[in-house]
Amino acid sequence: MSSRPFNFRARRAFLKNAGLGCGTLALTSMLQEQGLLSTTDAAEKSRLMQPRQSHFAPKAKSIIWLFMPGSPSQVDTFDYKPELQKRDGMKLEGADPKTGFFTTSGKALKSPFSFKQYGESGAWVSEIFPHMAQHVDEMAFMYSCYSQSNNHTPAMLEMNSGIFLQGRPCMGSWLTYGLGTENQNLPGFVVMHGAMPRGGKPIWSPGFLPKVYQPTSIDGRNAVPIDNLSRPEGVSDQQQRAQLNILKELNRKHQEFRPHEADLAARLESFELAYRMQTAAPEAMDLSGESEETHKAYGVDQEETKLVAKQCITARRLIERGVRFVQLYAGTNGGAGGVADVPWDGHSDIGINHRIAAKSVDQPIGALLADLKARGMLDDTLVIWGGEFGRTSDSQGSKGRDHNPHAFTMWMAGGGIKGGTQYGSSDEFGYKAIENRLGVNDLHATILHLMGIDHKRLTYRFNGRDYRLTDVAGKVVEELLA
């Protein structure tokens, strides 16, 4: 125990500083509430998150990306191949048994599903998509997509960020960085999922961009889909606001000595956004005000479809309220018949796996397209559908298909897309993209163009180099544009 005498001068100084500090915090809070105080972090927030001008007039204001994790088979969904049906069980010329993640037989495997043509465009659609088939004239099909990896996690990283390595920003973060957000009480970028897809949260990471551009993640399986959204019990709004003001002041002091730490400003804004979301987010995700007709159209009343149905309605409600980018990971976890526990990953039996997965998404997605169109929102909302790669035309085992990065199909609708378009093609067995091959960088360049962004000008300097979503590649596919 110290024998030094008590320092009365230090005690008086402490009381004086504490009193002045509390008074300053109170005055700061009152001035901020009256809008009379412009603070450093408020200015930084404005710079980071306020809506910004696009490079040119956009055709789309927002995006709903319907991501099918595990990857649908192109030849069992939209890329009909009569020759594959004829040659079932025969040797598939040019097939590499190591194309996928495991090993394939080298023998052609016909689709277990029947196909029909729909709409004025005559697009072929598998029997597993009767609801989506009604909207083919709104869609632009891209039959010649390809990617670099045959493994789920790196392929999803590539599909989201343009490269199959961790640490790069995903498209939602790039768009929020480039265009800001329209609704200051909701995030600009939202991810919705059921079961966590392969790769987890790094596949939608903001990478080296300031963390203010990271998405808000919503788990549709939980009764409370966003963690820590509710105010703690027994804490009033005034008390919480006072706590945040004190925390803000402490963080600002911390930031003064670290002016080059971009993530500190993002951390300050994340606290403020969380506070504002306590009112706005529950209202946006409360589906009780939607009509019974809407619930039934989307399939909320059915066990197989209710998760994706609720997510699709929520996506539309978020877009209505100014959220710029919603990415929805949709499918189902099946266990029947030895099907892999990942949506759309039909290694053992493509027929069982895809029928289960399609059942969970077809009606909700068909209803989403119809709903957006009826509300006049499809004109400026870009809807994207697809997985991270395709599947082999030869069999894995007797009934399954392995991963295939050499050919897969995606479609886009709304938001400046030329409906009824059929772009590119794969070979006669759907094994490799051969005509108008469309890489991930090309897809990203086209999507950014629809949002009014020149992909070559959307850059961010990191470690002495200017980076962009499309890296040093990518071209806008003009044939897809209205």
Domain range enclosing 196: 62-480
The answer to whether residue 398 is domain-embedded is: yes
Is residue 56 domain-resident?
no
Burial class (CB in 10 A: 0-12, 13-18, 19+), 182: middle
For the ranges 73-87, 214-228, 336-350, which has the lowest average pLDDT?
Answer: 336-350
**Amino acid in position 305:** T
**DSSP state at residue 438:** B
Confidence (pLDDT) at 115: 98
* CATH value at residue 245: 3.40.720.10
- Is 130's pLDDT higher than 50? yes
C-alpha triplet 107, 110, 112: angle, nearest 5°: 140
pLDDT of residue 334: 40
Please report which confidence band the pLDDT of residue 23 belongs to, taking 50, 70 and 90 as the band edges.
low
Q: Are 100 and 406 in contact (CB under 8 A)?
A: no
User: Is residue 200, in this structure, part of any structural domain at all?
Assistant: yes
In this model, does residue 37 exceed pLDDT 80? Answer: no
Token pair in block for residue 345: 């990953």
pLDDT band with cut points at 50, 70 and 90 for residue 223: low
Chain Cα centroid distance, residue 451: 15
Closest C-alpha to 226, from 283, 169, 184, 300:
283
Work out the burial of residue 405: count CB atoms within 10 Å of its CB; fewer than 13 is exposed, 13-18 middle, 19 or more buried: buried
Is residue 35 in a domain? no
Which residue, among 185, 94, 118, has the nearest Cα to 366 in the 3D structure? 118
pLDDT value at position 182?
85
* Tokens at 376, concatenated: 């006049």
Give the model's pLDDT for residue 274: 60
CB atoms near residue 113 (< 10 Å): 20
Stated as kind and residue range, the H or E segment containing 191 is strand 189-193
Distances 155 to 96, 339, 406, 418 between C-alpha atoms, Å: 19, 21, 12, 27
Residue 126, phi then psi, degrees to nearest 5: -70, 155
Domain assignment present for 341: yes
With respect to residue 18, please indicate whether it lies within any of the assigned structural domains: no
Tens-place pLDDT, residues 236-277: 767 666 766 676 677 777 777 776 666 666 666 666 566 565
Between CA 327 and CA 314 the distance in angstroms is 11
Shortest CA distance to 153 belongs to which of 403, 394, 438? Answer: 403
The total number of structural domains that make up the chain: 1
Q: What are the angstrom distances between the C-alpha of 396 and each of 109, 256, 346? A: 9, 59, 9
- Residue 292 exposed, middle or buried by CB count within 10 Å (0-12, 13-18, 19+): exposed
Residue 293 placed within a domain: yes
Residue with structure tokens 């289960």? 356
* Within-domain flag for 25: no
Predicted TM-score (pTM) of the model is 0.84
Range with the lowest mean pLDDT among 69-73, 255-259, 303-307, 373-377?
A: 255-259
